[in-house]
């Protein structure tokens, strides 16, 4: 673990502002936990299996660039993202490993894709033609839809697409990949049906001499529960951040959470006195109370509909937030913390003194699950890495 001084340096290098400029709010991200999670996975995969770390949505809110740099130094083969911003953030860190772009970009992005050296996902012959009309020398992954009913060629059409790509000397097919549906009713049977479709596709491609070097279909759910689906490469994302929901655990591994702390500060503390007039009809608000305001609101990723009885930590004790949340602020009842002062640290997730708010607690309070919590992290909140 590095020192606070190093964290500050990293913060400055990543072009972020100091936490003082964002109402004292910040996320603490544990890059060592992310490295640990990578090593856990690496140790359980066959040596020849490549890991494309999926860092979409700005690396699950933790910063695609710094996370990619950490994983690249651990030996990750490549990365997968859904936006050019995330790909740019990775290249800016000096990471030159392969980056697969999931479906999302249009041909208007051709120059950026060439400049960053990205591999494009292709789901149809029309897509292939359109990309070839704007990029001379094209690297592609063919995406297959195994029953997710989202992007990807149907299993029936994928070999025609592989053949069309192979016919074109200027197209390099790096692989085929799929993303398993986890729609209810999830579970093994549906997973096995999708696995069966992938195997059939690969067998047909082999017979036709069209099998590309890489076949990939395992995200977090797959690597944890279906070792038989490893093929040549895997592209989990949530796993690196310590999120392994719904893991049946046939390949369980101890994971550590990447997000250690969500904290902000008290931006106002006052005693509610008579001169404020009639107290509004807001649960928990009353004359004589010690009222605080915290420097985070729904514009910073907190739920707009904050349920009652959500607590945060101030001076090592729990204090109740008073909904509704506002764009940049939320009220907090400091009646039980008479020593609270302007500028005090407020912890929404993580430890303070002997108290601790867990990922599960905050996720359920925010009306989501743990992976959803990572999805709510906002890019404008400064991140401190250690």
Ligand X SMILES: *Cc1c(COP(=O)(O)O)cnc(C)c1O
Interface residues with ligand X (CB under 6 A)? 54, 56, 102, 179, 219-221, 235-239
Pick from 285, 340, 350: nearest CA to 314: 340
The least CB distance from residue 143 to ligand X, in Å, is 8
Q: How far is the CB of 223 from ligand X (least distance, A)?
A: 8
Element (H, E) at 81: strand 78-81
Residue 338 phi, psi dihedral angles, 5° rounding: -60, -25
Select 237 or 350, whichever has its Cβ closest to ligand X: 237
Q: In the complex, what is the shortest distance from the CB of residue 249 to ligand X, in angstroms, rounded to a whole number?
A: 15
Least distance between ligand X and beta carbon 325 (Å): 27
| Of 103 and 284, CB closest to ligand X | 103
Q: b/e map of 47-61 (b: 16 or more CB within 10 Å)? A: eebbbbbbbbbbbbb
How many residues are given for the chain? Answer: 386
Three-class DSSP category at 371? helix
> Which CB, 22 or 54, lies closer to ligand X?
54
**Closer CB to ligand X, residue 51 or residue 310?**
51
Q: Please choose, from the candidates 91, 95, 92, 101, the residue with its C-alpha nearest in 3D space to the C-alpha of residue 75.
A: 95
> What is the chain's Cα-based Rg?
24
Least separation in angstroms between residue 359's CB and ligand X is 15
Q: Are 111 and 132 in contact (CB under 8 A)?
A: no
Q: Measured from the CB atom, is 25 or 221 closer to ligand X?
A: 221
- CA dist 351 and 329 (Å) reads 21
First to last CA, the chain: 6
Judged by beta carbon, residue 67 or residue 294, the one nearer ligand X is 67
Q: How far is the CB of 244 from ligand X (least distance, A)?
A: 9
């Amino acid at each position: 673990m590095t020192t606070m001084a190093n964290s500050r340096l990293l913060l400055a290098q990543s072009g972020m502002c100091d936490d003082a400029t964002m109402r004292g709010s910040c996320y603490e991200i544990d890059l060592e936990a992310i490295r640990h999670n990578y090593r856990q996975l690496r140790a359980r995969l066959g040596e020849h299996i490549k890991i494309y770390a999926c860092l979409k949505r700005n690396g699950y809110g933790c910063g695609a660039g710094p996370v990619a740099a950490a994983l690249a130094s651990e030996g990750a083969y490549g990365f997968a993202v859904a936006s050019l911003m995330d790909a740019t953030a990775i290249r800016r860190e000096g990471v030159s490993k392969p980056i697969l772009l999931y479906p999302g970009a249009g041909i208007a992005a051709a120059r950026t894709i060439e400049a960053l050296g990205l591999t494009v996902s292709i789901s149809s012959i029309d897509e292939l033609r359109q990309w070839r009309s704007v990029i001379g020398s094209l690297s592609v992954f063919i995406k297959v839809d195994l029953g997710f009913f989202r992007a990807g060629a149907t299993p029936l059409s994928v070999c025609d697409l592989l053949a069309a790509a192979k016919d074109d000397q200027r197209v390099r097919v790096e692989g085929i990949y799929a993303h398993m549906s986890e729609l209810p009713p999830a579970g093994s049977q549906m997973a096995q049906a999708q696995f069966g479709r992938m195997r059939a596709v690969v067998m047909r491609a082999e017979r036709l001499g069209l099998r590309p070097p890489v076949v990939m279909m395992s995200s977090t759910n797959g690597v944890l529960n279906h070792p038989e689906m490893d093929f040549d490469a895997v592209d989990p994302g949530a796993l690196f951040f310590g999120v392994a929901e719904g893991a049946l655990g046939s390949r369980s591994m101890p994971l550590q959470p990447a997000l250690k702390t969500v904290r902000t500060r008290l931006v106002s503390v006052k005693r509610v006195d008579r001169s404020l007039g009639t107290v509004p009809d807001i649960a928990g608000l009353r004359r004589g109370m010690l009222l605080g305001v915290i420097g985070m609101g729904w514009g910073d990723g907190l739920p707009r509909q904050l349920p009652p009885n959500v607590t945060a930590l101030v001076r090592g004790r729990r204090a109740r937030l008073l909904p509704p949340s506002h764009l940049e602020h939320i009220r907090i009842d400091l009646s039980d913390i008479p020593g609270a002062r302007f500028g005090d640290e407020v912890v929404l997730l993580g430890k303070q003194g002997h108290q601790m708010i867990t990922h599960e607690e905050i996720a359920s309070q925010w009306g989501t699950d743990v992976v959803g919590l990572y999805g709510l992290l906002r890019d404008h909140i400064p991140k401190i890495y250690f």
